Amino acid sequence: MKVLVGGFIPTCHTQTNVEVAKLECYVSLFPKQDGRRQTLWGGTRSEIHGPEHWYANICPDIDDLTVIEDAKTIVDACYPQTNSTFFGGHYYSFSTREYLLNLLLFYFSSNKRFPVGQICIVDKWVWDVEAHRTVNGWVTGTFWRFLPRQKFFRSGHWINIPSLDDAKKILALKPIR
Protein backbone atom coordinates (compact mmCIF):
# COMPACT_ATOMS: atom_id res chain seq x y z
CA MET A 1 0.00 0.00 0.00
CA LYS A 2 1.35 3.44 -0.94
CA VAL A 3 0.32 6.54 0.91
CA LEU A 4 0.51 9.92 -0.83
CA VAL A 5 0.71 13.54 0.28
CA GLY A 6 2.61 13.75 3.51
CA GLY A 7 2.24 10.10 4.45
CA PHE A 8 -1.17 10.55 6.14
CA ILE A 9 -2.87 7.18 6.56
CA PRO A 10 -6.62 7.61 7.11
CA THR A 11 -7.01 4.26 8.90
CA CYS A 12 -3.80 4.36 10.96
CA HIS A 13 -5.71 4.84 14.21
CA THR A 14 -7.30 1.38 13.76
CA GLN A 15 -4.04 -0.42 12.93
CA THR A 16 -1.41 -1.82 15.25
CA ASN A 17 2.07 -0.32 15.40
CA VAL A 18 3.42 -3.31 13.45
CA GLU A 19 0.84 -2.86 10.67
CA VAL A 20 1.62 0.85 10.39
CA ALA A 21 5.37 0.12 10.30
CA LYS A 22 4.86 -2.29 7.35
CA LEU A 23 3.17 0.35 5.21
CA GLU A 24 5.21 1.74 2.35
CA CYS A 25 4.99 5.51 2.63
CA TYR A 26 5.58 7.63 -0.44
CA VAL A 27 5.77 11.23 0.66
CA SER A 28 5.68 13.83 -2.09
CA LEU A 29 4.61 17.45 -2.25
CA PHE A 30 3.87 17.17 -5.97
CA PRO A 31 2.86 13.55 -6.67
CA LYS A 32 2.02 11.90 -9.97
CA GLN A 33 -1.74 12.06 -10.52
CA ASP A 34 -3.55 9.70 -12.85
CA GLY A 35 -5.42 11.46 -15.63
CA ARG A 36 -3.37 14.70 -15.41
CA ARG A 37 -0.97 15.99 -18.03
CA GLN A 38 2.24 16.22 -15.99
CA THR A 39 5.99 16.22 -16.39
CA LEU A 40 8.62 14.88 -14.00
CA TRP A 41 10.61 17.88 -12.81
CA GLY A 42 13.03 17.71 -9.94
CA GLY A 43 12.50 16.61 -6.38
CA THR A 44 14.52 16.00 -3.26
CA ARG A 45 16.29 13.18 -1.50
CA SER A 46 15.41 12.25 2.06
CA GLU A 47 17.40 10.05 4.43
CA ILE A 48 14.15 8.43 5.57
CA HIS A 49 12.11 8.16 2.36
CA GLY A 50 14.83 8.18 -0.31
CA PRO A 51 14.25 10.05 -3.57
CA GLU A 52 11.12 12.17 -3.87
CA HIS A 53 10.00 12.93 -7.43
CA TRP A 54 8.02 16.06 -8.17
CA TYR A 55 5.56 16.34 -11.05
CA ALA A 56 4.49 19.66 -12.55
CA ASN A 57 0.93 19.95 -13.85
CA ILE A 58 0.60 21.10 -17.45
CA CYS A 59 -2.64 22.75 -18.58
CA PRO A 60 -2.03 23.68 -22.26
CA ASP A 61 -2.77 20.96 -24.79
CA ILE A 62 0.86 20.27 -25.62
CA ASP A 63 2.05 16.70 -25.84
CA ASP A 64 5.29 17.41 -27.71
CA LEU A 65 7.92 16.35 -25.16
CA THR A 66 10.62 18.43 -26.87
CA VAL A 67 8.55 21.62 -26.43
CA ILE A 68 7.85 20.75 -22.79
CA GLU A 69 11.54 20.02 -22.09
CA ASP A 70 12.58 23.25 -23.83
CA ALA A 71 10.12 25.23 -21.68
CA LYS A 72 11.52 23.54 -18.55
CA THR A 73 15.04 24.47 -19.68
CA ILE A 74 14.04 28.14 -19.97
CA VAL A 75 12.44 28.11 -16.51
CA ASP A 76 15.46 26.28 -15.02
CA ALA A 77 17.67 29.08 -16.37
CA CYS A 78 15.56 32.07 -15.31
CA TYR A 79 14.08 30.77 -12.05
CA PRO A 80 16.13 27.89 -10.55
CA GLN A 81 14.55 25.65 -7.92
CA THR A 82 15.49 26.56 -4.37
CA ASN A 83 15.46 23.91 -1.68
CA SER A 84 14.99 26.21 1.28
CA THR A 85 12.66 24.80 3.88
CA PHE A 86 12.29 28.24 5.49
CA PHE A 87 8.50 28.75 5.52
CA GLY A 88 8.14 26.17 2.74
CA GLY A 89 10.50 27.96 0.35
CA HIS A 90 10.97 24.83 -1.77
CA TYR A 91 7.18 24.52 -2.19
CA TYR A 92 6.71 28.15 -3.25
CA SER A 93 9.73 27.96 -5.53
CA PHE A 94 8.33 24.90 -7.32
CA SER A 95 4.82 26.38 -7.51
CA THR A 96 6.22 29.55 -9.11
CA ARG A 97 8.25 27.48 -11.57
CA GLU A 98 5.16 25.40 -12.43
CA TYR A 99 3.23 28.65 -13.04
CA LEU A 100 6.00 30.00 -15.31
CA LEU A 101 6.14 26.69 -17.17
CA ASN A 102 2.42 26.90 -17.92
CA LEU A 103 2.70 30.57 -18.99
CA LEU A 104 5.46 29.64 -21.45
CA LEU A 105 3.49 26.66 -22.78
CA PHE A 106 0.28 28.69 -23.22
CA TYR A 107 2.29 31.31 -25.11
CA PHE A 108 3.93 28.61 -27.25
CA SER A 109 0.54 27.04 -27.96
CA SER A 110 -0.75 30.35 -29.37
CA ASN A 111 2.42 31.67 -31.05
CA LYS A 112 4.48 28.56 -31.93
CA ARG A 113 7.50 30.09 -30.20
CA PHE A 114 8.60 30.96 -26.67
CA PRO A 115 8.46 34.52 -25.33
CA VAL A 116 11.69 36.37 -24.58
CA GLY A 117 12.03 39.34 -22.25
CA GLN A 118 10.75 40.61 -18.94
CA ILE A 119 7.70 39.33 -17.06
CA CYS A 120 6.36 40.65 -13.79
CA ILE A 121 4.48 38.53 -11.27
CA VAL A 122 2.02 40.69 -9.33
CA ASP A 123 -0.32 40.04 -6.43
CA LYS A 124 -3.34 41.88 -7.89
CA TRP A 125 -4.23 42.51 -11.47
CA VAL A 126 -7.21 44.53 -12.65
CA TRP A 127 -7.99 42.11 -15.45
CA ASP A 128 -9.21 38.55 -15.02
CA VAL A 129 -8.10 36.27 -17.83
CA GLU A 130 -10.45 33.34 -18.20
CA ALA A 131 -9.41 30.25 -20.13
CA HIS A 132 -11.82 27.51 -21.10
CA ARG A 133 -11.09 24.28 -22.91
CA THR A 134 -13.11 23.56 -26.06
CA VAL A 135 -13.01 20.80 -28.65
CA ASN A 136 -10.62 22.92 -30.75
CA GLY A 137 -8.28 23.99 -27.93
CA TRP A 138 -8.44 26.91 -25.51
CA VAL A 139 -10.58 30.03 -25.65
CA THR A 140 -9.48 32.97 -23.53
CA GLY A 141 -11.26 36.14 -22.56
CA THR A 142 -10.23 39.16 -20.55
CA PHE A 143 -12.67 40.71 -18.09
CA TRP A 144 -12.47 43.67 -15.73
CA ARG A 145 -12.18 42.80 -12.04
CA PHE A 146 -14.12 45.00 -9.69
CA LEU A 147 -11.29 46.00 -7.40
CA PRO A 148 -11.16 49.24 -5.44
CA ARG A 149 -8.56 51.72 -6.58
CA GLN A 150 -5.34 51.01 -4.73
CA LYS A 151 -3.62 53.63 -2.59
CA PHE A 152 -0.30 51.76 -2.57
CA PHE A 153 1.32 49.54 -5.14
CA ARG A 154 3.90 46.80 -4.82
CA SER A 155 6.82 46.55 -7.16
CA GLY A 156 6.08 43.00 -8.29
CA HIS A 157 8.63 40.28 -8.93
CA TRP A 158 10.48 40.71 -12.22
CA ILE A 159 11.88 37.74 -14.10
CA ASN A 160 13.95 37.86 -17.28
CA ILE A 161 12.93 35.08 -19.66
CA PRO A 162 15.92 34.19 -21.85
CA SER A 163 15.79 32.70 -25.32
CA LEU A 164 16.14 28.92 -25.45
CA ASP A 165 19.73 29.21 -26.75
CA ASP A 166 20.65 31.62 -23.93
CA ALA A 167 18.96 29.35 -21.37
CA LYS A 168 21.10 26.41 -22.52
CA LYS A 169 24.25 28.55 -22.20
CA ILE A 170 23.23 29.69 -18.70
CA LEU A 171 22.64 26.09 -17.56
CA ALA A 172 25.92 24.91 -19.12
CA LEU A 173 27.78 27.36 -16.86
CA LYS A 174 26.11 26.13 -13.64
CA PRO A 175 27.91 23.46 -11.62
CA ILE A 176 26.29 20.03 -11.36
CA ARG A 177 25.25 19.15 -7.81
**What is the C-alpha radius of gyration for the chain, rounded to an integer number of angstroms?**
20
Mean pLDDT of 128-149: 78
Give the whole-angstrom CA distance, residue 61 versus residue 63. Answer: 7
Give the whole-angstrom CA distance, residue 111 versus residue 74. Answer: 16
Angle between helices 65-78 and 164-173 (to 10 degrees): 60
Contact status, residue 97 vs residue 174, Cβ threshold 8 Å: no
Residue 135 DSSP code: T
Of 146 and 29, the structure prediction assigns the larger pLDDT to 146
Of 177 and 164, the structure prediction assigns the larger pLDDT to 164
* pLDDT above 80: residue 7: no
pLDDT of residue 167: 96
pLDDT band at 162, cuts 50/70/90? very high
Strand partners, 45: 51
Give the whole-angstrom CA distance, residue 145 versus residue 151. Answer: 17
* pLDDT digit string, tens, across residues 31-87: 777 888 899 988 776 676 667 788 899 988 888 999 999 999 999 999 998 877 666
